[in-house]
Structure 1
Amino acid sequence: IGIPPKSSRDVVDGSFTYSLIVTFESPEAQQKYQDEAVHKLFIEESSHLWTKVIVYDSRGI
């Protein structure tokens, strides 16, 4: 979990309040996380706390 850096660089996106980085061993593991009941419950119970969610998916190279 993180917060935006204090940066004056134009290329740094500081438009968010909090960030969360999650890594998975495989696409199947990510899908399992998405389908987990506890994940869905968290979204249901907490979505009133945010107005926007941005997801940056990427694969290691």
Structure 2
Amino acid sequence: MSSEREPQEAERIERIAREAYERCHPDDTFDDLKRRAAFSREDQGLLRDWLEFAARQAADRRK
């Protein structure tokens, strides 16, 4: 992947994760999860899981 596409892909993955997370957690925001992940191992794992989910979704959409 070119270095120009990497930031765009990361933004796309985060956008997918944000939409899915906020749909499943209407009383929370993805930005709040990201802030909590800075000091909570549980939230770090949740953030990682949501980003992995979004990366799989992005890959499936490219097929």
Q: TM-score, normalised by structure 1?
A: 0.27
Question: Greater Rg, structure 1 or structure 2?
Answer: 1
Q: Which has the higher helix share?
A: 2
Q: TM-score, normalised by structure 2?
A: 0.26
Q: Which has the higher contact order (CA 8 A, sep 6+)?
A: 2
